Amino acid sequence: MKKIYGLIFVLHAFVGIGGMAGGLAAILNPEAPMGAPVDMLRNSPFNNFLIPGIILFAIIGLGNLISAITMLFKSRFQGYISSVFSWALVIWIVVQCIMLREIAFLHVLFFIIGVVEAGLAMIILFEQHLFPSNIILKYYKKISRKM
């Protein structure tokens, strides 16, 4: 389990730092963060990168860093926290691809990272016998006794 906790910590820290950096760039320069033209947003509801930057900074960046910190302190709720911010990353990437009408290598990479984080979070929930794993394990035991 130490390897799982270590891997999920590294993934959350990586995504968190990257999300904060990208979000801050968009907040400070909403017209062309890191050289990205505002024209990219033509199919989205946004006129510039300010609102997406705030979301990226707060939800993806800070959220993943909070998730990494809960791994360090072994919070009882770390599986839930990790799961929430993992799925937030997956949803962020899917929505971004839909709005931009484009899929780039980084989209695929961060989608995979989000799914891996979510899978590792589920392993933690199973290890701690927390919802929904406690229900799954309960029914698995009932079924296995009948066989």
Number of domains making up the chain: 1
Domain coverage including residue 44: 2-146
Closest CA to 117 of 68, 53, 75: 68
Judge whether 78 and 67 are in contact, CB under 8 Å.
Answer: yes
Q: What is the pLDDT of residue 140?
A: 78
Q: Residue 35's Cα: distance from chain center in Å?
A: 24
Q: What is the pLDDT of residues 94-110, one digit of tens each?
A: 999 999 999 999 999 99
Q: What is the pLDDT of residues 26-49, one digit of tens each?
A: 999 999 999 999 999 999 999 999
Distances, alpha carbon 138 to alpha carbons 122, 128, 131, in Å? 16, 14, 11
pTM: 0.88
Judge whether 25 and 34 are in contact, CB under 8 Å.
Answer: yes
